[in-house]
Structure formats: C-alpha cells, structure tokens
Amino acid sequence: MTIRKEANDLRWLVLAGWYAPEKNPRAFRATELVRELKRNGDLVDVFAPDDAKEASDARGVTYKVRAIHPKQGGSAAQEREAGYAKKTIRFLFYFFFGDGPRNVLYGWNLFWALFKHRKHIGSYDTALAISYPFFVLLAFRIFGLLHRVPVVRMADCGDPLYHNPAFPKAFYLKYVEEWVLNWYNYIIVPMTEAKGAYPGLFRKGKLRVIPQGVRLIPIDESLYKPCAIPTFCYAGIFYQSIRNPDYFFDFLAKQTEAFRFIVYALPDPFTRKLLARYQSVLGDRLEVRAPLEREELIAVLARMDFVVNFNNDNSTQRPSKLIDYAMSKRPILSFNRKTFSEKNFMDFLHGHYQAGEHIDPAIYDIRHIARQFKEMR
C-alpha cells in the first residue's frame, strides 16, 4: 500500500515487539503512541507481531512479523511436566542472549522483514524502536550495518538489558547493549531514575525522559461504595528477583481480620506458581482472576477500597500499572520488600489512607506524550 505524504506530515517507522491485544506495558506503549500519532495527522508504518490489532489504513501500513505465541493459562502440573530441559534452555538463553527464545527469534524475523523493506527506509523522517524486547533494537542496529538509515533514530527503553537485576547474564551483554544504543540518536527512558542504568549514554547527553503514555479514561467516583469486607486489589505480574511479594503474603497469612485480596494476574509461570501456593494458605481471602482490558480493569479498580502497588526492589524500574491505579481514583499503597510497613497496611485496612501515594494521571496523557516525541526531532 502506498501512502501519500502531505507537506506538513511526519512519517514514522515504529518497530515493536509487543502490541495490542497483548496486555503488558510495552504493548500499551506502542499501541497508544502509534494511534495518537495517527490522530495527530502523521503517517505511521508499524512492524509488529503477527497477532497485532492494527489494520493498515490511510495513515499507515502495519507489517506483521512472525512471533511465537506462548500458551496461556497452563496448570501447575503442566509446568512440572515441562521438566528441567525447558527450564535449562530458558536459563541459557537468558544468560547468553539476555532474553528468552521468543524474543530472540522475533528479533531475527524482524531483521528479515526490515531487509525486505529496505528500499523504503529513506522515506521516513523518524524511526522509533521500542524495547522491551532488546532484540527489536538489535535487529534495527544490525540492519543499519547492511543498509544506510538516513533518519532520526530513537530507542525507547522501558527496561535495561545488562543492568536489569531480574536474572544473571553474561558480562559481554554490557558491551553489546552499549554498541547497539550508541547507534541511536536518542535513548528514551520512562523516568529520571532509569538514567542510572545507562551510565555511558548519560554522559553523552543522549538520554531523554518521556513517561509511559496512555489514553486517559474518565471514571465516575460514584462507582465506589465501601465494601462489606475490606477489599483491595493488585493487577500485574510478579518477578522472583525484583518483585517477589512472598513477604507480603506471609504477613497476610498471619492476620485474623477479614479481608479480600483480588489479584488480576498475567499468565507468567512464577506468578501462577506463587499465587497457587498462597491460595492454599489464604483460602477465599485471596481471589485470583484473569487479566482484563485496561478500560474494564480501571472500572473494576474504582470499586475497590484501595489498591496495592509492589514496587521493584531496584530503583531504576517502576511498574507502569501505577497509572491505571491513579485513574481509578482509589487510594494507593506502594511498597517493596524494604519499605513495607505493617502499620501503614493495617491503617489502609481500617480505612485510613494518609500514607497513600498521590499520582497525577495528566502527566501520562498520551496526547502530551506524543507531542514530546514529535518535539525531539
């Protein structure tokens, strides 16, 4: 499909490893930004996984890249049947490549998709590669070795590769990451604290801070009615190394007061295993539900007494789900293993929210975020 470019239009090439209908922060980032740029009148071509919900239209073409789609919702027994072979392969991939087989293969497929598209690369004003996964950035960098890329190159880095403490990795990945990122004109991180994960680039002045962007969803505050049993909620994923909530569940298991803890959990093996373990301890006080679309989830959160946010144990990364919490207009209790306060939690359970975290959703308005991307050119 050939798209006609008007004089005042900007033409974007966006490379994404995750996209709607996936329910994770990188998919939200890519999807919301692409659609807002189009609403602003720009032309946006997207390379995204083959299940992406983004049709080609008058404002851009969507190129589908073959991706592995993991099975969702497997039982604990199925996980055990996978045995040590699958776990070993996964560990080796993460250690030597910095990511799992799905994302490594996706980077390879993206490279070949770009190579087939090479004659059109010069027609863009800006190319934006969105990581995670890092292999999106790597695929474009390797493409740049073989073909000239005469456009402004932006790397959006939600998570660092080498300085991510979630898993051990080979030392040389530090130099691979530096080599890749140095090729880009701008490196975009979602918060100021994240600059510490890119020390060399910080000195070179390449880093820019642009928060996660979302479409703000208006919520009627009258949706909330005090629950008969104190009810609180978490939505997202847990990580064994940097966001492990076992200390919190152990604390809950010791409580004699009535409560309901509702968790909307992404289908991650560690998350499923951890929740299954504590469901047997907490019984009907812990309710695990499947993830929802953002609009539906925010409306559900608005009916809770409060929401809990598990901060990462490292200071350079922070859960983007906080934005949805803020839009729900319910009190937010944020903590990690080091900062968890039993007193603050019990205050929340009794309806006293003075220790709550206050977040202004307007900071994350996708209209404002899209303008920041455009102004960087």
Assess whether pLDDT exceeds 60 at residue 274. Answer: yes
> Which residues are CB-neighbours of 102 under 8 A, at least 6 positions away?
67, 68, 70
CA distance 166 to 169: 10
For residue 369, is it within any domain?
A: no
337 and 259 within one domain? yes
200 and 281 within one domain? no
Domain final residue pick, 158, 191, 210: 210
pLDDT for residue 139:
97
* In contact, 260 and 229? CB cutoff 8 Å: yes
Residues facing 65 on adjacent strands: 49
For residue 315, is it within any domain?
A: yes
- pLDDT bucket at 2, cuts 50 / 70 / 90: very low
118: domain CATH number?
3.40.50.2000
pLDDT for residue 350:
96
Of the listed ranges 61-75, 90-104, 285-299, the one predicted with least confidence: 61-75
- Phi, psi for residue 60 in degrees, rounded to 5: 160, 165
Assess whether pLDDT exceeds 50 at residue 105. Answer: yes
186 and 229 within one domain? no
For residue 255, is it within any domain?
A: yes
For residue 158, is it within any domain?
A: yes
pLDDT in tens, 163-209: 887 788 999 999 999 999 999 999 999 888 788 788 776 556 788 99
185 and 269 within one domain? no
pLDDT for residue 8:
58
pLDDT for residue 4:
47
227 and 200 within one domain? no
Residue 14 burial by Cβ neighbours in a 10 Å radius (0-12, 13-18, 19+): buried
pLDDT for residue 175:
93
Percentage of the residues of the chain whose pLDDT score is greater than 90: 62
Domain final residue pick, 155, 182, 210: 210
For residue 6, is it within any domain?
A: no
225 and 198 within one domain? no
15 and 114 within one domain? yes
Which two structure tokens, joined as six digits, stand for 42? 């720009």
Assess whether pLDDT exceeds 50 at residue 3. Answer: no
166 and 33 within one domain? yes
What mean pLDDT is predicted for residues 134-154? 96
170 and 54 within one domain? yes
306 and 233 within one domain? yes
pLDDT for residue 268:
83
* In contact, 208 and 186? CB cutoff 8 Å: yes
What mean pLDDT is predicted for residues 257-270? 92
pLDDT for residue 73:
46
339 and 200 within one domain? no
Q: 268 or 137, which is more confident?
A: 137
Domain final residue pick, 163, 190, 210: 210
pLDDT for residue 163:
86
Number of domains in the chain: 2
What mean pLDDT is predicted for residues 109-117? 97
Assess whether pLDDT exceeds 60 at residue 80. Answer: no
Q: Please state the pTM of the whole predicted model.
A: 0.83
For residue 97, is it within any domain?
A: yes
Assess whether pLDDT exceeds 50 at residue 216. Answer: yes
Residue-averaged pLDDT of the chain = 88
Of the listed ranges 244-248, 320-324, 353-357, the one predicted with least confidence: 320-324
- Phi, psi for residue 243 in degrees, rounded to 5: -150, 60
pLDDT for residue 71:
59
pLDDT in tens, 38-75: 999 999 999 999 999 887 887 899 999 998 876 554 44
* Domain interval for residue 242: 221-362
- pLDDT bucket at 368, cuts 50 / 70 / 90: very high
Q: What is the 3-state secondary structure (H, E, C) of the chain?
A: CCCCCCCCCCEEEEEECCCCCCCCHHHHHHHHHHHHHHHCCCEEEEEEECCCCCCCECCECEEEECCCCCCCCCCHHHHHHHHHHHHHHHHHHHHHHCCCHHHHHHHHHHHHHHHHCHHHHHHCCEEEEEECCHHHHHHHHHHHHHCCCCCEEEEEECCCCCCCCCCCCCCCHHHHHHHHHHCCCEEEECCHHHHHHCHHHHHHCCEEECCCCECCCCCCHHHCCCCCCCEEEEEECCECCCECCHHHHHHHHCCCCCCEEEEEECCCHHHHHHHHHHHHHHHHHEEEECCCCHHHHHHHHCCCCEEEEECCCCCCCCCCHHHHHHHHCCCEEEECCCCCCHHHHHHHHCCCCCCCCCCCHHHHEHHHHHHHHHHCC
150 and 180 within one domain? yes
CA distance 22 to 309: 21
Of the listed ranges 73-82, 133-142, 161-170, the one predicted with least confidence: 73-82
For residue 234, is it within any domain?
A: yes
Side-chain half-sphere CA neighbours of 298 within 13 A: 20
For residue 181, is it within any domain?
A: yes
